[in-house]
Amino acid sequence: MPSAQSAARVLGVTVLTLLAATPRAAAAEGWSLAPAGAGRPSVYAEGAPGTVLQDTVSVRNPGGRPVTVRLSGTGVPLTFAEPDIRVPARTRAEVPFTMTVPAGAAPGDRSGTLVAEDTDGRTATVRIRLRVGGPTLSALTVEHLAVHGDRITYELVNRGTTVLVPKLAVRAHGLLGRVLLDRAPRALPVRLAPGTRTELSEPWSGHPALDAVDVRLTATAAGGAHDTAGTSARFVPWGAVAGAAGVLTAGAAGAAVTVVRLRGRRGNGSAGALPTTGTDTDVELTGAAR
């Protein structure tokens, strides 16, 4: 399969005369950038990883003076037959270019921008949408769940091949089964690209002062992505206990210590998710205030 550079070398730049442009009207318009061909507001292409795709962009100069522009791209690998183009007055230049689908790209949509900039710093852009072929998979995991006083912290990991907008539900029970926290599923303000993770937290200002609780987080997303993680926490008013025992120091007066014990419980996740292992029992002392 030819590389992007070798494909670009066999392509040429075509300069065409504009037949229907008067000098006065053209001078008011200024130069413009658009995909070659009529009625295309943006560039769309699709291919498997490693594919080199070809298209053409048009630089139109209806003005009375030549214009020189430099072509570049962002978001998608682009190679131009000629990156620097001089377009005579009342003409347009059609510049072929190639897009290379990265060899390790996951299936799904990618976006980019084709940019033209003249010598005066004026720019024009064309949107690019590249669809990478292959099977799609929605998979999501909840990891590193912990309780830290008035916060529940966790990480969401996209282990699939599609962009995910996850929803989260939170539930916590006390020692006697009393529901302490019950938040219905709601969309989170994050977009997870394939293979990425994000650290998040849930506020819990109304947690009990003295109790042993079980906390469970359930994350879902479109395409069947689903995972659940749980942990246990013990809330102890340590300052009061130490004071009653006569061993509370002045520097630690009023301190509260939360003992968090990770259980490593996890749901099965969605079909095809990468395997994960439970976390060994761990004990963490957090929330101490000085």
CATH number at residue 150: 2.60.40.10
pLDDT at position 23 is 39
Q: Is the pTM of this model over 0.75?
A: no
16-60 confidence digits (pLDDT tens): 655 444 333 333 358 999 999 878 899 999 998 889 999 999 999
Residue 39 burial by Cβ neighbours in a 10 Å radius (0-12, 13-18, 19+):
exposed
**Given 132, 151, 173, which residue is the final one in a domain?**
132
Instruction: Copy the structure tokens of residue 190.
Output: 């994050």
Domain residues for 26?
4-132
Low-confidence ranges of the chain (pLDDT < 70): 1-29, 238-290
Residues 165, 127, single domain; the answer is no
pLDDT for residue 142: 97
> CB-based burial of residue 86 (10 Å sphere; 0-12 exposed, 13-18 middle, 19+ buried)?
middle
**47 plus 116 within the same structural domain:** yes
Rounded to 5°, angle at Cα 155 from 151 and 158:
155
pLDDT at position 46 is 92
Alpha carbon distance 142, 153 (integer Å) = 10
- Residue 229 backbone dihedrals phi, psi, to 5 degrees: -135, 150
Contacts of 54 (CB under 8 A, 6+ apart): 7, 11, 96, 97, 98, 99
What pLDDT sits at residue 177? 87
Domain check: are 128 and 144 in the same one? no
Q: How far apart are CA 171 and CA 283, in angstroms?
A: 21
The rounded Cα 260 to chain-centroid distance in angstroms is 31
Residues 255 and 127 in one domain: no
Q: Which helix H or strand E contains 240, and what residues bound it?
A: helix 238-245
Residues 149 and 265 in one domain: yes
User: pLDDT, tens digit, for every residue of 204-227?
Assistant: 998 898 999 999 999 999 999 999
Is there a single domain that holds both residue 209 and residue 172? yes
Q: Are 95 and 145 found together in one domain? A: no
Last residue of a domain, one of 116, 132, 148: 132
Provide the pLDDT for residue 203: 95
Q: What is the pLDDT of residue 95?
A: 96
Q: Name the domain count of the chain.
A: 2
Percent of the chain whose pLDDT exceeds 90:
56
The pLDDT value recorded for residue 129 is 94
Picking from 86, 113, 132, the residue at the C-terminal end of a domain is 132
Q: Tokens standing for 49?
A: 């990883």
Residues 147, 128, single domain; the answer is no
Residue 157: the pLDDT is 96
Whether 102 and 148 share a structural domain:
no
